[in-house]
Structure 1
């Protein structure tokens, strides 16, 4: 297998961002299909967001290890949250605050 192309990584980063934002908005994600029995549990949405956040951090870490740019898909505030790595209530409440979410949807 050849090297991963920057375009491929950017696509995966965009997918991870969309996945996290869908989890934030309580929209359907792959997680719902993987764990249908959990929908009945009150902590379900918390787990779903945690999984999506972990995925996003993993892709960002990969970008950094490959010296690839990842900041441009996010607002300054979102870059700061990702840099801190902790999914706090502030991240959940203010993720969209300064971000025009239509900006990178293509």
Structure 2
């Protein structure tokens, strides 16, 4: 695989990670523009997160198939969640690791 292809996949991985994190944070994503009529729907944010999670898993799968290392863009916990593939409430609640757990 050429250097350009690996750089392309890293860019796509970064985009997918940002997309998922924006969906987690209830920030605007492309999904809002695609389905503006759904914004009032109570399940909208769940759908939005599901779509972003699926996109992230797809890019990770492609990286695996192309032997491109993707784990260095994620924490160990996030890598574990991605490996399990299931978007559970734990993933949603604990995606961002808290640093202040053992302060003092």
Partner deviation per Cα, 1:5-29 (whole Å, 9 max, x = no partner): 1000000000000000000000000
Gap regions ≥5 residues in structure 1: 100-106
CA distance in 2, matches of 1:50, 1:3: 31
TM normalised by structure 2 equals 0.90
| Partner residue, 1:72 | 72
The SS at the match of 1:67 is: coil
Instruction: Pick the structure with more helix per residue.
Output: 2
1:11 aligns with 2:11: yes
Segments of 4+ moved more than 2 angstroms = none
In our comparison, the structure showing a higher alpha carbon Rg is 2
How many corresponding residue pairs? Answer: 98
Partner residue of 1:38? 38
Residue ranges of structure 2 left out of the alignment (5+ in a row)? 100-104
CA RMSD of aligned residues (A): 1.6
The alignment's TM-score, normalised by the length of structure 1, stands at 0.88
